[in-house]
Amino acid sequence: MKRISILLTSIITISCGSQKSHLAKNIILNTHFLGYYRALTVEQVLTETFVAPLTSLFKGLSKTLSKAKSLFEKIYIFVKKVLEKLKNPKQAMRELFEVVMSLFRTKDPYVKKVDNVIEELEKNKTKLDEIIDENGKIKKLHKKNYKRYGNLGEMVADAHWLQIKKWSNGEKVNFKLLHKPVQDLDDVIVKGIDAIYQNTLFKPPPPPPKYVINEVKYSKKANLTKSKWKAKISKTVTKSGASQMMEEWIEYNLKSIVLDRKKRYDILANYKKTLTGVTKKGKKVEIFELSDDLKTIKKIEL
């Protein structure tokens, strides 16, 4: 219990600042003796341990008042588990640390950027079929000019993958980008692999995969079937000697993204093919697993 007290003090002091450290000590004073509350009900323990000190704590944190309810609910669930199972205190403290820190964690800068782009599209401040030229005049794009649509799709896909925390089987994941992401709707289109993600939490055997090689497709139509999404993958044979997302095509195009040979070999030995479909001006994202031969496609919830 001493370890629990020390870690809780650190978490609350970091989250609230040194000026609130006396409140942190007040909370720890109660939690330090959790082991002696077994004769009381869970509600009584939680009231004496968390409600009063947390109420005082939140009075001094105007910026986090909106999160107070969520924080208490999560702590309530956690403490209930601790009271039921005190056999694994290390795991319990890891869970509490994640719960508390998640409330104060800021969004990834790239995700924020993409959120702003989507917001501007919703408010019609930005449009996918027109641009402002060098003279400040609005210029309508040719109906076959899909650059903005394609760039939006890649930006939304990357932002989505950065926020995925669990694979379809429930295992924890954390993806980082190994490619240079699109920064603007008017970026020059770069042909080849759209995205490579590395799962920094990978533990063999998969799933989840260690790497994901992702093809992004954007559709103006909101509801496409699996076969319609698959049909968007180009069957044109390129300089690689193969078509889009085939093994030879991936190996050929990987060289321009990952310069380190060892890293490339590791990716080629441990990757999963996916297709991310984006619609509704970035508001809808669907992810599909692709078989090695691209003959089958399976939707996965991520």
pLDDT for residue 179 is more than 60 = yes
The DSSP symbol for 141 reads P
State the pLDDT at residue 50. Answer: 53
Task: Among 24-28, 67-71, 204-208, 220-224, name the one with the lowest average pLDDT.
Answer: 24-28
In one-letter notation, the amino acid at residue 26 is N
CB atoms closer than 10 angstroms to residue 73: 11
Q: How many residues does the chain have?
A: 302
The residues facing 176 across adjacent strands are 198
State the pLDDT at residue 65. Answer: 41
pLDDT for residue 115 is more than 70 = yes
What φ, ψ does residue 92 adopt, rounded to 5°? -60, -45
Domain boundaries along the sequence of the chain: 2-104, 109-300
Digit-coded pLDDT (tens) for 186-233: 999 999 999 999 999 999 999 999 999 999 999 999 889 999 999 999
If phi over 0 gives left and psi between -120 and 50 gives alpha, with beta otherwise, what is residue 170?
A: left
Handedness of CA 237, 222, 296, 162 (dihedral sign): positive
Q: What dihedral do alpha carbons 95, 101, 105, 108 form, nearest 10°? A: -40
State the pLDDT at residue 191. Answer: 93
pLDDT for residue 174 is more than 60 = yes
DSSP string, 253-283: HHTTT---HHHHHHHHHSEEEEEEEEEGGGT
Q: Report the number of secondary-structure helices (H) and strands (E) in the chain.
A: 11, 8
The residues facing 272 across adjacent strands are 212
CB proximity list for 6: less than 8 A, separation 6 or greater: none
